[in-house]
A and B are shown apart, each in its own frame.
Chain A
Amino acid sequence: GQQLNQSPQSMFIQEGEDVSMNCTSSSIFNTWLWYKQDPGEGPVLLIALYKAGELTSNGRLTAQFGITRKDSFLNISASIPSDVGIYFCAGGKTGANNLFFGTGTRLTVIP
């Protein structure tokens, strides 16, 4: 199935630094969601975006739905060790039941 281009593929950052990752697609999506997956567990929904241009925060996390509806980004401010994990973006289309997933960004936070 279709996959979204997510970058970077992996990141190593110092604790306290901010993180930014993005997701792009060649097609338009009506919904963007961001998930975090810890090793051996299922993805957990972080933020859901429903309108182009929408900017939504969840604690230290901020995500935006790109105005073209073909991209989205996720920022994490003041990273902490428990932010370690794999972050996936996912796009949804009207009339389609499933989501299309990004390739994932593996985040490592160095204490």
Chain B
Amino acid sequence: GAVVSQHPSWVICKSGTSVKIECRSLDFQATTMFWYRQFPKQSLMLMATSNEGSKATYEQGVEKDKFLINHASLTLSTLTVTSAHPEDSSFYICSARDPPLDLHFGNGTRLTVT
């Protein structure tokens, strides 16, 4: 079945640094990928929709300059958390669409900003 690989699985960084998270579709091409944030014991909150070859679409309240998204190929989208702060600590999950509508998720990245 479809597989989405997310890297790294966890990262600890110092406040003020930037962190890049990668999301790859391994056996299918994904023109659209999605980035979510999940707080403990809560559901997934959509942050942005990543579109191959064009700008990402951000959900209301999500700072596009802080959460930079690049979707340079049909199998790779990256999320960069710029100038990270402790409040950015969270579980970030990507997903990719395997047509017609099935959505497959990566294993998530636990970000801890100290």
Q: Which residues of A contact B103 (CB under 8 A)?
A: 33, 45, 90, 92, 99
Chain A binding surface, main DSSP class: strand
Contact in complex: B46, A98 (CB < 8 Å):
yes
Interface members, chain B 16-53 (any A CB < 8 Å): 32, 34, 41-46, 49
Stretch from B64-72, B77-85, B106-114 forming part of the interface with A: B106-114
Contact in complex: A43, B34 (CB < 8 Å):
no
Contact in complex: A42, B108 (CB < 8 Å):
yes
B-contact bits for A74-111, CB 8 A (1 contact / 0 none): 00000000000000101010000111011110100000
Contact in complex: A92, B46 (CB < 8 Å):
no
Chain A residue at smallest Cβ distance from B108:
A42
State how many angstroms separate the Cβ of B74 from the closest Cβ of chain A.
15
Q: Which residues of A contact B42 (CB under 8 A)?
A: 103-104
Give which listed residue, B59, B97, B108, contacts A40 with CB less than 8 A. B108
A59 within 8 A of B: no
B87 within 8 A of A: no
A62 within 8 A of B: no
Count, A-B residue pairs, CB within 8 A: 56
Give which listed residue, A33, A41, A43, A92, contacts B44 with CB less than 8 A. A43
Range class of the A interface residue count: 20 to 34
- A97-B97, A101-B43 are contacts. A42–B32 as well, Cβ < 8 Å? no
Q: Which residues of A contact B32 (CB under 8 A)?
A: 97
B75 within 8 A of A: no
User: In whole angstroms, what is the CA distance A35 to B46 when docked?
Assistant: 16
A25 within 8 A of B: no
Q: Which residues of B contact A90 (CB under 8 A)?
A: 103
State how many angstroms separate the Cβ of B6 from the closest Cβ of chain A.
7
CB<8 Å pairs between A and B, sample of 10: A31-B101, A33-B102, A42-B108, A45-B104, A88-B44, A92-B101, A98-B46, A101-B43, A101-B44, A102-B43
Residues of A whose CB lies within 8 Å of any CB of B are 1, 3, 31, 33, 35, 40-45, 48, 50, 88, 90, 92, 97-99, 101-104, 106
Residues of B whose CB lies within 8 Å of any CB of A are 4, 6, 32, 34, 41-46, 49, 59, 91, 93-95, 97, 100-108, 110
